[in-house]
Structure 1
Amino acid sequence: MQPHIECRKGDIAPIVLLPGDPKRVNLIGSFLDEYREVADNREFRTITGTYQGVPVSVTSTGIGCPSTAIAVEELIVCGAKILIRVGTCGSAWREEITPLSVVIPTACVRDEGTTIEYIPEGFPAVADTDIVAALTASAQEQGIRFFRGINRTHDSFYAPDRSVAKWGEFYLDQRFNDTPSPILSSEMETSALFVIATLMGVRAGAVLAVDAEPTPLKSMVLRQTHLPNVAFKNKDISTEAQKSMIRTALGALKHIR
């Protein structure tokens, strides 16, 4: 029995979806053929079921890399082989990445402290290429607007704007005036998943729901645009964005080998 997720071998399917919010576990469960409750301890809520005949588990990670690292490590001990984060990233950093889009990270900026305790910060946080391809195919088949690229994982939800703006200081150089933001999105968990999965020899990917209007990195640096107040997100848009994210993740299962 694992001490935090309270699961053991036999409880967990080889494929696990990882929402942050425990309440989102049952939302994902509503898309499954059937499922059973496995455990509910602290921020870690787990169900196991099937989707179109494919066994799948869902475990919430809570907010941030420390709890995500705990969940990922313990799930791997219980038999997880493929882990896919299904979470939100709020507003994106490019104008064209509008609400109801999804971001499929190919890699992450490790702007957080958890993974430094595993391996030096020069080590990349990279998604498994086959998982990225499966998520891409799923989004394309379902007509879901998607973007692939670099995500930033960070620690502080209420950090000052300068913690974001530092990633766009290259815009102060005229050579880069027409360069789109090299970072698409920002959230608080994915780099821990990617690094730990790589170190422990399993596969990982992520699909992130965009549920707020974009705050372009370039505008923030050059025009002093401030980060949006996420408390004013439209709840209907947020729910629909999450459903697109869930459909993308579940639709990818048939493409994973």
Structure 2
Amino acid sequence: MVIKKSELILNPDNSIYHLNLKPEHIASDIIFVGDQDRVDQITKHFETIEFTTQKREFKTTTGTYKKKRFSVISTGIGSDNIDIVLNELDALVNIDLKTRTVKKTHTQLNIVRIGTSGSLQTNIPINSFLISTYGLDLSGMLQAYKIDAITNSEIEEKFVKHTLWSNQKAYPIAIKNSKKLEDKLSSTKTFKGITATAGGFYGPQGRVLRLPVQDPNLIDKISSFNYNENSITNLEMETAAIYGLAKLLKHNACSINAIIANRANGTFSEAPYKTIEKLIIYTLNKLVE
């Protein structure tokens, strides 16, 4: 089946529309960051840089670290941006852009998100590293796809019951990470937990400025949820979307965060940029081991 031009949009130079990339521009090992400035924070450690481009908030640089080829891509904030980035990356490796047909041989990408987050648990200290074992999507973006094969009904039902989740909100979806990448990133330095992915920063994460929220006790409910001794350790805006789309498209994905705040005890790191730099070096070295 030929994919319509209105569905698979290319730029005049035949690069993919939003990312401004061609297939030869990306490595099979990819690091996601939210902030476009963080791309340079990572690639300054590379021995070689072969390509870089930026369109809107999507900046990509490809090069080598300890002889291993990586692409570092800034996704911007939110699940909607992840929908763009994952689908366009997959198109670059699994769709022939000239014939607009799906390739017979599937290419699998390895995607690691390096992010920052605040802990919801007192036992996850600031300046620590946290690996997301599951992503719990609260944003609703994944509901646009056929997701039956990737959901975890046991976690979802327990979460809905525990939080008295409003049926006016999108139904939560729990997605496992890539165990292969989790094992690669794990060490005595890392904590693990479930990461909830919200559709916004303020109300969707229980923050109140001038607007009242639908459930003023939401954060307490999320923080107290436990599944087989696994707590929801942090709340952000991308991880579950990455896990969900990666699973659907048959790629590997894992998220690791620098914990720079603790919402449970109201603390914030005195040296957040130092913690982020340590996480970058840690992750790069783990990925080349």
TM-score, normalization: structure 1?
Answer: 0.80
Which of 196, 203, 218 in structure 1 is aligned with 2:245?
196
How many residue pairs are counted as aligned between the two chains?
Answer: 227
Structure 1 spans left out of the alignment, 5+ residues:
172-178, 220-227
* Distance of 1:101 and 1:169 partners within structure 2: 21
CA contact (8 A) 2:194 2:230 kept: no
Alignment of 1:90-101 (within 5 A): 91-101=118-128
Unaligned runs of 5+ in 2: 1-14, 94-107, 154-172, 208-215
Contact 1:135-1:251 at 8 Å conserved across structures: no
1:22 equivalent to 2:36? Answer yes
1:51 Cα deviation (Å)?
0.9
1:61-72 equivalences in 2 (<5 Å): 61-72=75-86
Write the deviation string for residues 220-249 of structure 1: whole angstroms up to 9, x where unpaired.
xxxxxxxx5xxx955x62101211221232
Structure 1 stretch 242-251 or stretch 186-195: which is displaced more? Answer: 242-251
Q: Which residue of 2 aligns with 1:154?
A: 198
Percentage of pairs with the same residue: 26
- Deviation of 1:187 after TM superposition, in Å, equals 0.9
| 2:178/2:253 contact within 8 Å kept | yes
SS in 2 for 1:26: helix
- Taking only aligned residues, the RMSD between alpha carbons, in angstroms, comes to 2.4
Moved over 3 A (4+): 119-124, 168-171
Report the Cα offset of residue 71 of structure 1: 0.9
Q: Deviations over 1:18-71 (max 9, x none)?
A: 000001000001122222442100110000001110000000000011101211
How many angstroms does 1:134 deviate by? Answer: 0.3
Q: 1:35 to 1:63 in 2, by over 3 A?
A: same
1:134 paired with 2:184, answer yes
Residue 221 of structure 2: aligned partner: 166
Q: Which moved more, 1:51-60 or 1:149-158?
A: 149-158
Q: C-alpha separation between the residues in 1 aligned to 2:58 and 2:111?
A: 15
User: Structure 2 counterpart of 1:208, which letter?
Assistant: N
CA distance in 1, matches of 2:176, 2:230: 19
For 2:137, which of 102, 106, 110 is the aligned residue?
A: 110
Pick the structure with greater CA Rg.
2
Q: Does the CA-based 8 Å contact 1:94-1:180 persist in structure 2?
A: no
1:32 is aligned, of 35, 40, 46, to 46
More helix by share: 1
